[in-house]
Amino acid sequence: MDKVSHLAQGQVDMYRVRCYEGFAGLPAAHRSLVDSARRDDLFSDPAWFDHVMTHFYPGAHQVRVYALEQADNGKPLLLMPLRACQIDYSAFGAQTLGSISHPENYSTVAMIFSPEARDHEGLLIQLLKHFRRGGGDAPGLPVELLRLWPVDTAGDDGRMLHRALGKAGFWTQVYANSYNRYEDTAGLGYEAYFAQRSANLRYSVRRRQRALEKSGHLELALYKGTDGLDEAIEDYYAVSLGSWKEAESMVSDDMIAMIRLAAESGCMRLGILRFNGVPAAAQFWIVTGGVGHCSRLAYHDDFKQQAVGVVLTNFMIYHVLEDDHVSRIDFGYGEEDYKGGWMKEARDYYGFLAFNPRTRQGLLHGLKNILGRPVKRLAKAVLVMLRLRQPETAEPVRGRAASGNGVVDR
């Protein structure tokens, strides 16, 4: 079922907003726009949003797909899949719309624009103004809080979203979300990539692989679809349960479901290293939208001394560069030291808490969250000045600021 509302005076002849309770009820033109987006990007696929909602936002969250349309013909210009709830911990009880985001930040906030749309920021502002003002029969509006994450505030889309929130009248608080290692690889083949790694890493990869080949039978297998998937998952289980990692992080229901979803979509790259027929290391990657995402990796503790994880990582990178020709490799969120050897670039992801000052809850929670921090900082400064409190040590710099020219030596 969809709900219709028109925008404020001055825009009524140009745009209207519809709210759909899920993807299944979208009209043909809207479905076509989604189909076009998901063709190149798993993270724009309704099946992906369904996976995230099922495993991370059950019960009190409902899917809402908002469409900004041309008023005269209903042609969709912008689609935003969001989740509606009233249980956000920053504003409990407030009418909230949040991005349908995976906790591990595989993709930024979903905004699906029509290929014919030119002024993306202007269209986004109109939709956000509708969220702030409400009107019509759309449920849960006006919204009192928007929680949108993850956002790359150094990227074009992140800056656009930040500006649009302000121009639409929201009070926006930016908060740190996660740290990400990645490297842009457009036009880069494996040999050029590998030559840019440290001498120590290059030597380690070659020496470890030669040692495995000389001492036994080394098999490096790559699975891309559903053929042989059950066997590969069994080996993935065997490695995961014998590794140093917590089993829940490797073989939880949501992770196995995500592997199968990626396999069915043709985006899965599941690598298994077997030594003398025994699964010794496993990695799960997703290749979509021109990016190779390293999602999970582990080695069995019995093979720790052979550095099988290093050999398998090199194998996976070779294939995503030479076969998939990815323009970026993403090592996911987290600050583990080993990532710095493989990925030269780093960034911080952020989130936006956008409060609607036109509503009582939005105003109260906005004042508490946005003004609360400066007041606390001022109080701490006064206490330090009066020698009633020790000054705080500076937090270590991370992300782009830490990397300087984009290369982080860790």
Q: What are the CA-CA distances from residue 72 to residues 11, 76, 385 (Å)?
A: 12, 11, 63
Residue indicated by tokens 């899949």: 81
**Checking DSSP bridges between strand 62-70 and strand 15-20, what pairing results, if any?**
antiparallel
Q: What is the pLDDT of residue 9?
A: 46
Contact, 148 vs 100, CB < 8 A?
no
Q: What is the pLDDT of residue 396?
A: 56
Residue indicated by tokens 């960034």: 347
pTM of the prediction? 0.88
**b/e per residue 253-278 (b: at least 16 CB within 10 A):** eebeebbbbbbebebbbbbbbbbeeb
Structure tokens at 334: 């987290």
Contact, 42 vs 265, CB < 8 A?
yes
Superfamily of domain 2-179+348-377: Gcn5-related N-acetyltransferase (GNAT) (3.40.630.30)
Q: What is the pLDDT of residue 401?
A: 47
Domains of the chain: which residue ranges?
2-179+348-377, 186-326
- Strand-pair partners of 172: 354
Structure tokens at 131: 């969220």
Residues 346 and 349: their CA atoms lie apart, in Å, by: 10
Q: What is the pLDDT of residue 390?
A: 75
Q: What is the pLDDT of residue 360?
A: 95
**Fold (topology level) of 186-326:** Aminopeptidase (3.40.630)
Residue 218: count other Cβ atoms within 10 Å of its Cβ.
Answer: 19
Q: What is the pLDDT of residue 334?
A: 87
Identical topology for domains 2-179+348-377 and 186-326: yes
Contact, 66 vs 143, CB < 8 A?
no
Query: Across the 410 residues of the chain, what is the mean pLDDT of every consecutive 10-residue run?
Result: 52 82 95 95 97 94 96 95 95 95 96 95 97 77 96 96 98 96 97 97 97 97 97 97 93 97 97 98 98 97 96 98 98 91 96 97 92 66 68 60 39
